[in-house]
Amino acid sequence: MKLAFVFPGQGSQAVGMGQELADNFASAKAVFDEVDAALGQDLSGLMANGPIEDLTLTENAQPALMAASLAVMRVLENDFDVNVTAASFVAGHSLGEYSALAAAGSLSIADAAKLLKLRGQAMQKAVPVGEGTMAALLGADEDLAAQAVAAGQTAGVCGIANDNAPGQIVISGATAAIEAAIAKAGELGLKKAMKLPVSAPFHCPMMQPAADAMSEALAAATINAPAVPVVANVTARPTNDVETIRRQLVEQVTGRVRWRESVMWMVEEGGITTLAEAGAGKVLSTMLKRTTKDAKGQPLNSAADLEAFAAALKEEA
């Protein structure tokens, strides 16, 4: 198998995520302890016990999902002798790009946690509640989505935020503009267009105040060259250049998450046959099935998942 590690974004959080690993592997618990110490917060307690409403808050969900992903990677390395360099690439969906960078040694876990806490807070503060929102356009291709967006732009800021998979595009912007785009999507005959239960319009120009905050924070952050190239959200292409990574993390706040393109580049140009999804849930593996039949997804959540994955890698070696 030719491997990429991929890391989920917001929406994959669940109470109890990573708990089995923390209970059974000291290396996983150490990750959670490190994140708690960096943030001065009992985030691991919130992850273990909830409530889900608090865990879902952007400023908590972002570092929590990174912690769950890095716990998987630390257990793979320390307990199953599988290093990130077993992969040809790493990539992450939105906040998952920070998880990917931490997994590849580009960011420390503590710095990734602090940056994601700030990112979550800055994204939440950027737009007053109610002034912006997001919507999923199900069954839309890029052309149909562009037509819906154009209709939305007559009422305000509106753009494609996430190109997740064929037929799964998310738009973001001012509430009135998103409502106009949804109405146009209905006229175009899209299968479904619906608002998402989000607290802010992520990945659109309305997030510029958050991008400014992240620009300042990232300018001061220690970023190392990653052990394997990181496929960036904003370009759907790999890089291992530190200053490029720094710049693209800022651009990512207002820019489109080009996930479908990232997956297709890894498969078609990078020759990837397995995308191992490290962390909570299996959202990326499910989207992969819609995107290509030339690669398979491998969710890595539980100890059993990790053991089977490590055994399969050793068989191939």
* Residues whose CB falls within 8 Å of the CB of residue 133, separated by 6 or more in sequence, listed in order: 172, 173, 175, 178, 195, 196, 198, 201
pLDDT at 199 over 90: no
- For 228-257, the pLDDT digits (tens) are 999 999 999 999 999 999 999 999 999 999
What pLDDT is stored for residue 258 in this prediction? 98
pLDDT at 98 over 90: yes
The catalytically annotated residue of 94, 99, 262, 285 is 94
270, 306: one domain: yes
Distance CA(304)–CA(24), nearest Å, equals 12
- Encode burial over 209-221: b for 16+ CB neighbours within 10 A, e otherwise: ebbebbeebbeeb
Question: 101: which 2 tokens?
Answer: 């960078």
Q: What is the mean pLDDT of residues 290-302?
A: 97
- How many domains does the chain contain in total? 2
What pLDDT is stored for residue 96 in this prediction? 98
The CATH number of residue 141's host domain is 3.30.70.250
User: What is the pTM for the complete model shown?
Assistant: 0.97
pLDDT at 105 over 80: yes
What pLDDT is stored for residue 197 in this prediction? 85
Q: Is 53 exposed, middle or buried (0-12, 13-18, 19+ CB in 10 A)?
A: exposed
- 132: closest CA among 194, 179, 209, 200? 200
Q: Rounded to the nearest 10 degrees, how much is the dihedral formed by the CA atoms of 264, 267, 273, 274?
A: -50
What pLDDT is stored for residue 29 in this prediction? 98
231, 119: one domain: yes
276, 224: one domain: yes
153, 261: one domain: no
Q: Is residue 175 within 8 Å of 130, Cβ to Cβ?
A: yes
Question: 271: which 2 tokens?
Answer: 């020759």
Angle between helices 58-80 and 26-39 (to 10 degrees): 150
7: which strand partners? 92
What are the strands, taking DSSP E only, across the chain?
A: 3-7, 89-92, 132-138, 158-165, 168-174, 192-195, 230-231, 238-239, 274-278, 296-300
93 is catalytic: no
- 73: closest CA among 35, 31, 110, 45? 31
Phi-psi map region of 173: left, alpha, beta (phi>0 left; psi -120 to 50 alpha): left
203 is catalytic: yes
221, 86: one domain: yes
- For 33-90, the pLDDT digits (tens) are 999 999 999 999 999 999 999 999 999 999 999 999 999 999 999 999 999 999 999 9
Q: How many CB atoms lie within 10 A of CB 308?
A: 13
Angle between helices 26-39 and 109-126 (to 10 degrees): 50
Residue owning tokens 């999804």: 277
Q: Is residue 225 within 8 Å of 106, Cβ to Cβ?
A: yes
Distance CA(281)–CA(213), nearest Å, equals 30
Domain boundary among 165, 180, 198: 198
278: which strand partners? 300
- For 147-197, the pLDDT digits (tens) are 999 999 999 999 999 999 999 999 999 999 999 999 999 999 998 999 998
* Sign of the CA dihedral with 140 first, then 143, 144, and 148 last: positive
What pLDDT is stored for residue 238 in this prediction? 98
163, 85: one domain: no
237, 305: one domain: yes
Domain boundary among 142, 169, 198: 198
Q: Is 293 exposed, middle or buried (0-12, 13-18, 19+ CB in 10 A)?
A: exposed
pLDDT at 317 over 90: no
β-sheet with 192-195: strand ranges across: 158-165, 168-174, 132-138, 192-195
What pLDDT is stored for residue 145 in this prediction? 96
157, 176: one domain: yes
The CATH number of residue 110's host domain is 3.40.366.10
186, 214: one domain: no
Amino acid at 307: E
For the chain, percent of residues with pLDDT exceeding 90: 96
118, 168: one domain: no
The catalytically annotated residue of 12, 106, 203, 262 is 203
186, 220: one domain: no
For the chain, percent of residues with pLDDT exceeding 70: 100
What pLDDT is stored for residue 158 in this prediction? 98
Amino acid at 60: N
What pLDDT is stored for residue 316 in this prediction? 85
Q: Which domain holds residue 298?
A: 3-126+206-316
Domain boundary among 178, 198, 218: 198
